[in-house]
């Protein structure tokens, strides 16, 4: 598939905290690979502090990366300031989490959109420029546009503000949209509207969208592929439907089990504990202190992302409205020693769980 | 504009406007030459000399009228220079950060701990002619540091707000982010810092003239006080020599302080609504008390709103039109 727009390889961000002897390295993001394709939504799921937002800021190049590579249209790209950065933002735009903070309170919506249009299409005439601004509002369904264009942010509701900031991002006509928890600050009743708007942008403008969320159910609803993060690393990736319905990694399983379920038979859940401090990650698999299946191997050696067979009971790429090529199923990977096929003696073993994940009839 | 309607700032602006007018037309309406010696020495106020005379027969009213210009010019010029420096240094330090921030902050801290008045005295006494603009320049280089620390802190907090990050992510240039996105959010702080510096500059200038450091050939209120002091006006009961000048200083200081209160109330919605609310309460015959929150009870018709908010105007955070109001313990 040569639809790949933005790709990250081994993306790493380390922060140092403290000085001299007390110096510690915080591994916010550690060796993450992401591929964003035209017209496809990739969800990045994980709990707070797992490095999701850092990835969005790294991909938008708002903060420099420690290691790894970012490829735009297959070419490695690093931009700092000035023209290169501006050219990069024309391709890659970002939507922020908090719509109450992401619009300047002293300027009306018109100013925000004017700037976006003048930055990215500086050669328009005055008339074309104004038309472009109204088209942006139309695009995000803020109609009638004349009513919204002169409003100040405090005169708009959360959903309207988020739409305005999506309109600002669209002013660049980007190929990639990095949406950092775009609905988590919104009222439950208007979340779906914003998600449907993003889906529309994916289908009509064929924008590649990275959808960052902690809500795995919305990932299933909205995303074609889902990546699950834990403590700065990707622990599982695959088709959204398969990841959410047949979680292969014990952490994904915990994440799904933690959703409140009125019919739950085992309300106590299977794994407990807190995510580790990113400055002092445990040796081996960072999930091992909380994992019910952890063995000696898990405590000593970090598992690589292992290729998994697709569950037999699930048809590949079943996500509704997906435009990805159904002939090439999304690869499914999990960073867990449970799926090690080399037959190491100290590998963990949980046949029931594995059988469930792989959809094998027992 | 809400700021003008605010009673405190309105009072301040009227008083200040009066003195600005005097500063402009003072030398023309002064009845005598302030330096001219007269026959009536140390005379109390009379129809010829409304504010009396000095011991060499100079007319004090003329001295006051002529001296107003020097006071206000030095105040506003040094206020403008110091605020300009404060904005440049503070916003740069806050936005750029890193080593630049360390250096600029260290510079501001050094200027902050230098005792301003002794430094001004040393510099002005070393200069051959300490005219108005020299005084203004010297005052402004000692007065910018405090403002710059406030600007830096505020910029630091603004820089990491999402809307600034969003502007960056949208490809906005650094220059525009600072001037169009950050500075409008600092307007009120800049204004209040300016007014505060003007107050400081006026008081410093008068102090300099009073202790005789500044040139005594230029008239200002401090010069009047200097001559009154050196001729023992107080001991001789010549109150008309020093009371008017002192009153003028107090009035200008009060006007500037009132303007600053007005800015504070305009900026902080909390203070703004508290003030507006206490007016509404007084109209309903309730004395507002600190620590008690009036609670709206919805079974009586609300009083008629004084005006409709215009569509562009920010709506106050708390609705000030009340139904029946009762006082209730807040804490």
Closest CA–CA distance from residue B80 to any residue of chain A (Å): 24
Q: Does B165 lie at the interface with A, CB-CB under 8 angstroms?
A: yes
- Asked if the Cβ–Cβ distance from A103 to B163 is below 8 Å, we say yes
Closest CA–CA distance from residue A5 to any residue of chain B (Å): 18
Q: What pLDDT is recorded for position A324?
A: 46
pLDDT confidence band for B7 (50 / 70 / 90): confident
Pick from B163, B169, B315: which is nearest to A93 by CB?
Answer: B169
Summarize the confidence of residues B249-264 as an average pLDDT: 90
Q: Does B184 lie at the interface with A, CB-CB under 8 angstroms?
A: yes
Chain B residues in contact with A151 by the CB 8 A cut-off are none
Q: What pLDDT is recorded for position B276?
A: 65
Summarize the confidence of residues B282-310 as an average pLDDT: 60
Q: Is B76 a residue whose pLDDT tops 60?
A: yes
CA A107/CA A96 separation, integer angstroms: 18
Q: What pLDDT is recorded for position A271?
A: 52
Beta pairing partners, A208: A176
Chain B residues in contact with A171 by the CB 8 A cut-off are 170
CA A11/CA A4 separation, integer angstroms: 17
- Asked if the Cβ–Cβ distance from A105 to B173 is below 8 Å, we say no
Task: Please report the number of interchain residue pairs, chain A to chain B, with beta-carbon separation below 8 angstroms.
Answer: 66
Q: Is B318 a residue whose pLDDT tops 70?
A: no
B65 or A362, which is more confident: B65
A334-362 pLDDT tens trace? 888 888 877 777 778 777 777 777 765 44
pLDDT confidence band for B38 (50 / 70 / 90): confident
Summarize the confidence of residues A127-156 as an average pLDDT: 88
Q: Does B98 lie at the interface with A, CB-CB under 8 angstroms?
A: no
Pick from A81, A96, A171: which is nearest to B162 by CB?
Answer: A96
Q: What pLDDT is recorded for position A226?
A: 92
Q: What pLDDT is recorded for position B306?
A: 56
Nearest CA in chain A to B185: A106
pLDDT confidence band for A319 (50 / 70 / 90): very low
Q: Cα A89 to chain center, whole Å?
A: 18
Instruction: Give all domains of chain B, ordered by start, each with its CATH number.
Output: 2-267 (1.10.3720.10), 273-329 (no CATH)
Pick from A81, A98, A119: which is nearest to B162 by CB?
Answer: A98
- Alpha helix ranges (H) inside A156-312: 158-170, 188-205, 216-222, 240-245, 250-257, 296-300
pLDDT confidence band for B268 (50 / 70 / 90): low
Chain B residues in contact with A154 by the CB 8 A cut-off are 314-315
pLDDT confidence band for B150 (50 / 70 / 90): very high
Top-ranked range on mean pLDDT: pick from A168-172, A269-273, A349-353, B266-270: A168-172
Q: What pLDDT is recorded for position A272?
A: 67
Nearest CA in chain A to B314: A154
CA B272/CA B264 separation, integer angstroms: 8
Q: What pLDDT is recorded for position A146?
A: 87
Q: Does B55 lie at the interface with A, CB-CB under 8 angstroms?
A: no
CA A335/CA A284 separation, integer angstroms: 11
Beta pairing partners, A332: A308
Q: What pLDDT is recorded for position A168?
A: 92
In the three-class reduction of DSSP (H, G, I as helix; E, B as strand; rest coil), residue A6 is classed as strand
Chain A residues in contact with B174 by the CB 8 A cut-off are 81
- Asked if the Cβ–Cβ distance from A101 to B167 is below 8 Å, we say no
The dihedral sign for the CA sequence B295, B296, B298, B299: positive
pLDDT confidence band for A34 (50 / 70 / 90): very high
* CB distance A208 to A176 below 8 Å: yes
Closest CA to B150 of B192, B117, B119: B192
> For chain A, what percent of residues have pLDDT higher than 90?
24
Using CA atoms, how far residue B315 sits from A108, B2, B273, B309, B318, in Å, is 14, 11, 11, 7, 8
Nearest CA in chain B to A59: B169
Chain A residues in contact with B172 by the CB 8 A cut-off are 115, 119
Q: Does B163 lie at the interface with A, CB-CB under 8 angstroms?
A: yes
- Asked if the Cβ–Cβ distance from B163 to A85 is below 8 Å, we say no
Q: Is B292 a residue whose pLDDT tops 90?
A: no
Closest CA to A99 of A208, A191, A204: A191
B42-64 pLDDT tens trace? 788 888 888 888 888 888 888 89
Closest CA–CA distance from residue B171 to any residue of chain A (Å): 5
Q: What pLDDT is recorded for position B232?
A: 85
pLDDT confidence band for A225 (50 / 70 / 90): very high
Q: ipTM of this model?
A: 0.82
Residue A312, Cβ density class (10 Å: 0-12 exposed, 13-18 middle, ≥19 buried): exposed
Q: Is B304 a residue whose pLDDT tops 70?
A: no
* CB distance B226 to B209 below 8 Å: yes
B247 or A294, which is more confident: B247
Closest CA–CA distance from residue A178 to any residue of chain B (Å): 10
Nearest CA in chain B to A88: B171
Q: Does B185 lie at the interface with A, CB-CB under 8 angstroms?
A: yes
Q: What pLDDT is recorded for position A184?
A: 87
Pick from A90, A96, A155: which is nearest to B171 by CB?
Answer: A90
Summarize the confidence of residues B27-35 as an average pLDDT: 85
Q: Is B85 a residue whose pLDDT tops 90?
A: yes
Chain B residues in contact with A83 by the CB 8 A cut-off are none
- Helical packing angle, B221-230 and B183-210, nearest 10°: 30
Chain B residues in contact with A96 by the CB 8 A cut-off are 162, 165-166
A77-133 pLDDT tens trace? 888 777 889 999 999 999 998 888 889 888 889 999 999 999 998 888 889 998 999
Q: What pLDDT is recorded for position B330?
A: 42
Q: What pLDDT is recorded for position A291?
A: 85
Q: Does B269 lie at the interface with A, CB-CB under 8 angstroms?
A: no
Chain B residues in contact with A150 by the CB 8 A cut-off are 312
Q: Where are the beta strands (DSSP E) in A38-131?
A: 41-45, 67-72, 75-76, 92-95
Summarize the confidence of residues B251-274 as an average pLDDT: 79
Q: Is A169 a residue whose pLDDT tops 60?
A: yes
């Amino acid at each position: 598939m040569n639809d790949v727009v933005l790709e990250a390889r081994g993306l790493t961000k380390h922060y140092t905290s403290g000085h001299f002897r007390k110096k510690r390295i915080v591994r916010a993001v550690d060796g993450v690979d992401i591929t964003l394709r035209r017209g496809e939504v990739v969800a990045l799921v994980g709990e707070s502090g797992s490095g999701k937002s850092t990835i969005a800021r790294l991909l938008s190049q708002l903060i420099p990366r420690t290691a790894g590579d970012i490829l735009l249209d297959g070419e490695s790209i690093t931009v700092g300031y000035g023209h290169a950065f501006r050219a990069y933002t024309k391709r890659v735009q970002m939507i922020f989490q908090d719509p109450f903070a992401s619009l300047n309170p002293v300027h009306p919506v018109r100013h925000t959109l004017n700037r976006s249009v003048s930055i990215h299409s500086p050669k328009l005439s005055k008339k074309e420029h104004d038309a472009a601004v109204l088209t942006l509002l139309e695009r995000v369904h803020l109609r009638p546009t004349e009513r919204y264009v002169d409003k100040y942010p405090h005169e708009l509701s959360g959903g309207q503000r988020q739409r305005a900031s999506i309109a600002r991002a669209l002013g660049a006509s980007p190929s990639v949209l990095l949406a950092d928890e775009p609905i988590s600050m919104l009222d439950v009743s208007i979340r779906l509207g914003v998600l449907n708007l993003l889906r529309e942008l994916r289908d009509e403008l064929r924008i590649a969208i990275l959808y960052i969320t902690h809500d795995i159910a919305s990932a299933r609803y909205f995303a074609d592929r889902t990546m699950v993060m834990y403590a700065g690393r990707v622990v599982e990736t695959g088709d959204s439907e398969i990841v959410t319905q047949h979680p292969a990694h014990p952490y994904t399983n915990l994440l799904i089990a933690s959703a409140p379920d009125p019919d739950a038979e085992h309300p106590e859940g299977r794994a407990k504990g807190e995510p580790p401090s990113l400055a002092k990650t445990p040796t081996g698999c960072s999930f091992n202190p909380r994992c019910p299946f952890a063995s000696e191997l898990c405590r000593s050696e970090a598992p690589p992302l292992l290729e998994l067979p697709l569950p037999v009971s699930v048809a590949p790429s079943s996500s509704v409205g997906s435009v990805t090529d159904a002939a090439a199923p999304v690869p499914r990977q999990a960073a867990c020693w449970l799926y090690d096929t080399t037959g190491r003696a100290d590998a963990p073993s949980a046949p029931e769980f594995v059988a469930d994940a792989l959809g094998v009839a027992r | 504009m809400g700021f003008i309607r605010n009673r405190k700032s309105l009072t301040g602006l009227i008083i200040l406007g009066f003195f600005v007018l005097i500063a402009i037309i003072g030398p023309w309406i002064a009845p005598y030459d302030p330096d001219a010696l007269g026959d009536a020495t140390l005379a109390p106020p009379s129809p010829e000399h409304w504010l009396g005379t000095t011991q060499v027969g100079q007319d004090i009213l003329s001295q006051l009228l002529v001296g107003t210009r020097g006071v206000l010019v030095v105040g506003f010029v040094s206020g403008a220079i110091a605020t300009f420096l404060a904005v440049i240094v503070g916003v740069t330090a806050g936005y750029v950060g890193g080593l630049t921030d360390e250096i600029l902050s260290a510079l501001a801290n050094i200027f902050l701990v230098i005792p301003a008045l002794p430094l001004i005295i040393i510099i002005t006494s070393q200069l051959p002619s300490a005219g108005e603009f020299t005084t203004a320049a010297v005052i402004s280089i000692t007065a910018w540091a405090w403002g710059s620390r406030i600007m830096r802190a505020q910029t630091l907090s603004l820089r990491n707000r999402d809307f600034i990050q969003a502007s960056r992510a949208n490809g906005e240039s650094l220059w525009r982010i600072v001037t169009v996105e950050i500075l409008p959010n600092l307007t009120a702080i800049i204004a209040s810092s300016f007014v505060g510096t003007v107050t400081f500059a006026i008081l410093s200038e008068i102090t300099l003239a009073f202790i005789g450091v500044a040139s005594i050939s230029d008239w200002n209120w401090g010069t009047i006080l200097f001559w009154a002091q050196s001729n023992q006006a107080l001991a001789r009961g010549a109150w008309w020599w020093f009371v008017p000048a002192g009153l003028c200083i107090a009035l200008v200081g009060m006007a500037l302080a009132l303007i600053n209160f007005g800015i504070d109330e305009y900026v902080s919605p909390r203070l703004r609504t508290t003030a507006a609310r206490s007016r509404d309460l007084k109209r309903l015959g309730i004395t507002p008390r600190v620590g008690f929150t009036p609670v709206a009870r919805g079974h009586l018709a609300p009083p008629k709103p004084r005006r409709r908010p215009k569509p562009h105007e920010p709506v106050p955070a708390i609705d000030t039109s009340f139904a029946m109001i009762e006082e209730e313990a807040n804490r």
